[in-house]
A = this chain, B = another copy of it.
Amino acid sequence: MPADHIDQGTLTQSVGYCCLQAYLEIVPNIKKQLGKLQLRPVEYTVLSLINSNPNINQKRLGQTIRVSPPNMATLLDKIQADGLIERRRNPNDRRSQILALTPKGHQLYLKAEAVATRADITPTLTDDERQQLLSLLTKIFQN
């Protein structure tokens, strides 16, 4: 029996709604694939941002991915306990923590990047459409 058509009405004019629905379509596969490396998406994101931004501190990292300081602290506790990152006090301002990947963390990140890239699929879009989409989305959240 063919699924009847659902009319999403004005919701398809909402960027918020459409972003969420597209995200929910894509993310289960990413979760599943990263799960094989014992990583949640947010943990992979953190590894990636630390890798691309040496000496980033917790505040800027949390602001970038919209994780509050308390939740960032516990998230990083876990990643550190797994031996993936190290935290050291900034010598110029000992309040802040400077983050870096350990060799183990860097190795896992490289594997995870390959996995996540393969898992982030949009089969209904052409390559051009996908690039166009990424460009438009980026305009929304990059400051």
Q: Are B8 and A120 in contact (CB under 8 A)?
A: no
Determine if A92 is an interface residue (Cβ-Cβ < 8 Å). Answer: no
Q: Among B9, B53, B132, B143, point to the contact of A52 (Cβ < 8 A).
A: B9
Interface bin, chain A: 35 or more
25 example contacts (A-B, Cβ-Cβ < 8 A) are as follows: A4-B60, A6-B64, A9-B52, A11-B45, A11-B49, A14-B116, A15-B130, A15-B134, A15-B137, A16-B23, A17-B41, A17-B120, A19-B19, A19-B23, A19-B26, A19-B137, A22-B141, A23-B23, A25-B140, A25-B141, A122-B140, A125-B140, A132-B136, A133-B136, A136-B136
* Chain A residues with a Cβ under 8 A of chain B: 3-4, 6-27, 30, 41, 45, 48-49, 51-53, 56, 60, 64-66, 113, 116-117, 120, 122, 124-125, 129-130, 132-134, 136-143
